[in-house]
Amino acid sequence: MSSTPEIEEKLREKIIAEPSLILENQDVMHALIAANERAMGGNIVDLRGIAMERLEARLDRLEDTHRSVIAAAYENLAGTNQVHRAILRMLDPVQFEEFLRDLGGEVAEILRVDCVKLVLESLQNEDDPAVQRLGDVLSVAEPGYIANYLGEARGNPARQVTLRQLSEGTEAIYGGAAGYMRSEACLLLDFGDGRLPGLLVMGSEDPHHFTPQQGTDLLGFFGGVFERAMRRWLS
Protein backbone atom coordinates (compact mmCIF):
# COMPACT_ATOMS: atom_id res chain seq x y z
CA MET A 1 0.00 0.00 0.00
CA SER A 2 1.22 3.54 -0.75
CA SER A 3 1.73 5.87 2.21
CA THR A 4 1.18 8.95 0.00
CA PRO A 5 -2.24 10.47 0.79
CA GLU A 6 -4.57 10.51 -2.18
CA ILE A 7 -5.88 13.92 -3.26
CA GLU A 8 -9.64 14.20 -3.40
CA GLU A 9 -10.83 13.49 -6.93
CA LYS A 10 -13.04 16.57 -7.22
CA LEU A 11 -10.24 18.82 -6.00
CA ARG A 12 -7.81 17.15 -8.42
CA GLU A 13 -10.16 17.72 -11.35
CA LYS A 14 -10.68 21.34 -10.29
CA ILE A 15 -6.92 22.02 -10.18
CA ILE A 16 -6.34 20.37 -13.56
CA ALA A 17 -9.21 22.32 -15.11
CA GLU A 18 -8.19 25.70 -13.60
CA PRO A 19 -4.49 25.70 -12.57
CA SER A 20 -4.56 29.51 -12.40
CA LEU A 21 -6.47 29.19 -9.11
CA ILE A 22 -3.26 27.81 -7.58
CA LEU A 23 -0.81 30.05 -9.41
CA GLU A 24 -2.64 33.26 -8.49
CA ASN A 25 -3.04 32.43 -4.80
CA GLN A 26 0.05 33.60 -2.90
CA ASP A 27 -0.66 31.59 0.27
CA VAL A 28 -1.09 28.32 -1.66
CA MET A 29 2.05 28.96 -3.72
CA HIS A 30 4.07 29.68 -0.58
CA ALA A 31 2.89 26.40 0.94
CA LEU A 32 3.82 24.45 -2.22
CA ILE A 33 7.27 26.03 -2.44
CA ALA A 34 7.94 25.33 1.24
CA ALA A 35 6.86 21.71 0.81
CA ASN A 36 9.15 21.38 -2.22
CA GLU A 37 12.12 22.73 -0.25
CA ARG A 38 11.50 20.28 2.57
CA ALA A 39 11.31 17.40 0.08
CA MET A 40 14.70 18.38 -1.43
CA GLY A 41 16.42 18.32 1.96
CA GLY A 42 18.62 20.79 3.76
CA ASN A 43 21.72 20.35 1.60
CA ILE A 44 20.18 21.80 -1.57
CA VAL A 45 19.82 25.53 -2.22
CA ASP A 46 16.77 26.37 -4.33
CA LEU A 47 17.93 29.37 -6.34
CA ARG A 48 14.61 29.55 -8.16
CA GLY A 49 12.78 29.85 -4.85
CA ILE A 50 15.14 32.61 -3.69
CA ALA A 51 14.63 34.49 -6.96
CA MET A 52 10.85 34.20 -6.58
CA GLU A 53 11.02 35.58 -3.04
CA ARG A 54 13.02 38.57 -4.22
CA LEU A 55 10.64 39.20 -7.10
CA GLU A 56 7.71 38.99 -4.71
CA ALA A 57 9.34 41.55 -2.41
CA ARG A 58 9.92 43.88 -5.36
CA LEU A 59 6.32 43.43 -6.50
CA ASP A 60 5.04 44.29 -3.01
CA ARG A 61 7.14 47.48 -3.01
CA LEU A 62 5.88 48.43 -6.47
CA GLU A 63 2.27 47.88 -5.38
CA ASP A 64 2.82 50.06 -2.30
CA THR A 65 4.34 52.78 -4.48
CA HIS A 66 1.47 52.47 -6.94
CA ARG A 67 -1.09 52.91 -4.15
CA SER A 68 0.82 55.91 -2.78
CA VAL A 69 0.96 57.57 -6.21
CA ILE A 70 -2.78 57.05 -6.75
CA ALA A 71 -3.58 58.42 -3.29
CA ALA A 72 -1.40 61.49 -3.92
CA ALA A 73 -3.04 62.05 -7.32
CA TYR A 74 -6.52 61.96 -5.78
CA GLU A 75 -5.39 64.32 -3.02
CA ASN A 76 -3.92 66.77 -5.55
CA LEU A 77 -7.08 66.64 -7.64
CA ALA A 78 -9.23 67.30 -4.58
CA GLY A 79 -6.98 70.21 -3.59
CA THR A 80 -7.14 71.68 -7.10
CA ASN A 81 -10.94 71.50 -7.16
CA GLN A 82 -11.06 73.07 -3.71
CA VAL A 83 -8.89 76.04 -4.73
CA HIS A 84 -10.84 76.52 -7.97
CA ARG A 85 -14.15 76.63 -6.08
CA ALA A 86 -12.70 79.14 -3.61
CA ILE A 87 -11.49 81.37 -6.46
CA LEU A 88 -14.87 81.31 -8.20
CA ARG A 89 -16.58 82.27 -4.94
CA MET A 90 -14.03 85.00 -4.34
CA LEU A 91 -14.74 86.53 -7.76
CA ASP A 92 -18.53 86.65 -7.26
CA PRO A 93 -18.90 89.86 -5.14
CA VAL A 94 -19.43 93.20 -6.86
CA GLN A 95 -18.72 95.30 -3.75
CA PHE A 96 -15.31 95.55 -2.08
CA GLU A 97 -16.59 95.05 1.46
CA GLU A 98 -18.50 91.96 0.41
CA PHE A 99 -15.37 90.69 -1.34
CA LEU A 100 -13.35 90.98 1.88
CA ARG A 101 -16.06 89.59 4.16
CA ASP A 102 -16.37 86.50 1.99
CA LEU A 103 -12.71 85.73 2.69
CA GLY A 104 -13.51 84.99 6.30
CA GLY A 105 -16.80 83.32 5.41
CA GLU A 106 -17.48 81.05 2.46
CA VAL A 107 -13.96 81.21 1.02
CA ALA A 108 -12.47 80.09 4.35
CA GLU A 109 -15.06 77.29 4.59
CA ILE A 110 -14.28 76.04 1.08
CA LEU A 111 -10.55 76.03 1.85
CA ARG A 112 -11.25 74.34 5.21
CA VAL A 113 -9.23 76.80 7.23
CA ASP A 114 -10.26 78.33 10.53
CA CYS A 115 -9.24 81.90 9.80
CA VAL A 116 -8.39 84.11 6.81
CA LYS A 117 -6.86 87.54 7.39
CA LEU A 118 -5.70 90.22 4.99
CA VAL A 119 -2.83 92.38 6.25
CA LEU A 120 -2.22 95.68 4.47
CA GLU A 121 0.68 97.99 5.17
CA SER A 122 -0.50 101.56 5.31
CA LEU A 123 0.09 104.93 6.93
CA GLN A 124 -3.67 105.08 7.50
CA ASN A 125 -4.94 105.08 11.07
CA GLU A 126 -6.40 101.76 12.22
CA ASP A 127 -9.28 103.71 13.78
CA ASP A 128 -10.55 104.61 10.34
CA PRO A 129 -14.26 103.64 10.10
CA ALA A 130 -13.70 101.56 6.95
CA VAL A 131 -11.02 99.53 8.71
CA GLN A 132 -13.21 99.11 11.78
CA ARG A 133 -16.07 97.73 9.70
CA LEU A 134 -13.82 95.04 8.23
CA GLY A 135 -11.85 94.30 11.39
CA ASP A 136 -12.79 90.60 11.32
CA VAL A 137 -10.87 90.17 8.07
CA LEU A 138 -8.66 93.21 7.58
CA SER A 139 -5.63 94.26 9.62
CA VAL A 140 -3.66 97.44 8.92
CA ALA A 141 0.02 97.52 9.86
CA GLU A 142 2.84 100.01 9.60
CA PRO A 143 5.28 99.78 6.66
CA GLY A 144 7.85 97.01 7.14
CA TYR A 145 5.60 94.87 9.33
CA ILE A 146 5.09 92.12 6.70
CA ALA A 147 8.82 91.71 5.99
CA ASN A 148 9.44 91.38 9.71
CA TYR A 149 6.56 88.92 10.16
CA LEU A 150 7.91 86.69 7.38
CA GLY A 151 11.38 86.77 8.86
CA GLU A 152 13.09 88.90 6.21
CA ALA A 153 14.51 91.08 8.96
CA ARG A 154 16.34 87.98 10.26
CA GLY A 155 17.91 87.30 6.87
CA ASN A 156 15.30 84.88 5.49
CA PRO A 157 14.61 85.45 1.78
CA ALA A 158 11.11 86.57 0.76
CA ARG A 159 8.91 83.83 -0.65
CA GLN A 160 5.51 84.14 -2.29
CA VAL A 161 4.09 81.39 -0.06
CA THR A 162 5.33 80.54 3.43
CA LEU A 163 3.96 77.51 5.27
CA ARG A 164 4.77 77.03 8.93
CA GLN A 165 3.60 75.54 12.20
CA LEU A 166 2.92 77.69 15.25
CA SER A 167 2.85 77.39 19.00
CA GLU A 168 0.20 80.09 18.80
CA GLY A 169 -0.83 82.83 16.40
CA THR A 170 0.00 86.53 16.50
CA GLU A 171 -2.69 88.58 18.19
CA ALA A 172 -2.12 91.54 15.87
CA ILE A 173 -3.33 89.34 12.99
CA TYR A 174 -5.65 86.74 14.50
CA GLY A 175 -7.08 88.79 17.37
CA GLY A 176 -8.91 86.68 19.95
CA ALA A 177 -8.38 83.50 17.91
CA ALA A 178 -4.57 83.77 18.12
CA GLY A 179 -4.28 81.23 20.95
CA TYR A 180 -5.95 78.52 18.86
CA MET A 181 -3.86 78.81 15.72
CA ARG A 182 -1.32 76.01 15.22
CA SER A 183 -0.30 76.39 11.56
CA GLU A 184 -0.57 79.03 8.87
CA ALA A 185 -0.03 79.82 5.21
CA CYS A 186 1.25 83.31 4.41
CA LEU A 187 0.74 84.56 0.84
CA LEU A 188 2.84 87.61 0.00
CA LEU A 189 0.96 90.07 -2.21
CA ASP A 190 2.34 92.59 -4.68
CA PHE A 191 -0.16 95.29 -5.60
CA GLY A 192 2.01 96.99 -8.17
CA ASP A 193 4.52 99.81 -8.44
CA GLY A 194 4.17 102.52 -5.85
CA ARG A 195 2.01 100.42 -3.50
CA LEU A 196 2.98 98.84 -0.22
CA PRO A 197 2.83 95.02 -0.05
CA GLY A 198 0.04 92.97 1.48
CA LEU A 199 -0.20 89.58 3.13
CA LEU A 200 -3.00 87.04 2.99
CA VAL A 201 -2.81 84.75 6.02
CA MET A 202 -4.71 81.46 6.40
CA GLY A 203 -4.68 80.01 9.88
CA SER A 204 -5.65 76.55 11.08
CA GLU A 205 -6.11 74.98 14.51
CA ASP A 206 -4.62 71.78 13.05
CA PRO A 207 -0.80 71.82 13.41
CA HIS A 208 -0.49 69.56 10.36
CA HIS A 209 -2.78 71.53 8.03
CA PHE A 210 0.15 73.65 6.83
CA THR A 211 3.73 72.37 7.08
CA PRO A 212 6.96 73.48 5.34
CA GLN A 213 7.18 70.11 3.53
CA GLN A 214 3.97 70.67 1.57
CA GLY A 215 3.83 71.93 -2.01
CA THR A 216 2.85 75.55 -2.56
CA ASP A 217 1.80 75.64 -6.24
CA LEU A 218 -1.96 75.75 -5.59
CA LEU A 219 -1.67 78.38 -2.85
CA GLY A 220 0.66 80.38 -5.10
CA PHE A 221 -2.00 80.28 -7.82
CA PHE A 222 -4.71 81.34 -5.36
CA GLY A 223 -2.51 84.20 -4.14
CA GLY A 224 -1.87 85.34 -7.71
CA VAL A 225 -5.60 85.50 -8.46
CA PHE A 226 -6.30 87.31 -5.19
CA GLU A 227 -3.50 89.77 -5.93
CA ARG A 228 -4.99 90.64 -9.31
CA ALA A 229 -8.48 90.99 -7.86
CA MET A 230 -7.15 93.39 -5.22
CA ARG A 231 -5.37 95.47 -7.85
CA ARG A 232 -8.72 95.94 -9.57
CA TRP A 233 -10.35 97.11 -6.36
CA LEU A 234 -7.46 99.41 -5.47
CA SER A 235 -7.23 101.04 -8.89
Residue ranges of the alpha helices (H) in the chain?
A: 9-17, 20-23, 26-40, 47-90, 96-102, 108-111, 129-133, 145-149, 171-174, 217-234
Read off the CATH number of the domain in which 109 is found: 3.30.450.40
pLDDT at 191 over 90: no
Judge if 141 and 42 occupy the same domain.
no
Residue 153 banded pLDDT, cuts 50, 70, 90: very low
Instruction: Identify the pLDDT of residue 17.
Output: 78
Domain that holds residue 29: 9-60
* Total-model pTM: 0.68
Give me the mean pLDDT over the 63-88 stretch.
81
Quick one: how far is CA 44 from the chain centroid?
52
| 120 DSSP 8-state letter | E
Q: How many domains does the chain have?
A: 2
Q: What is the Cα gyration radius of the chain?
A: 31
Least confident of 157-166, 211-220, 222-231: 157-166
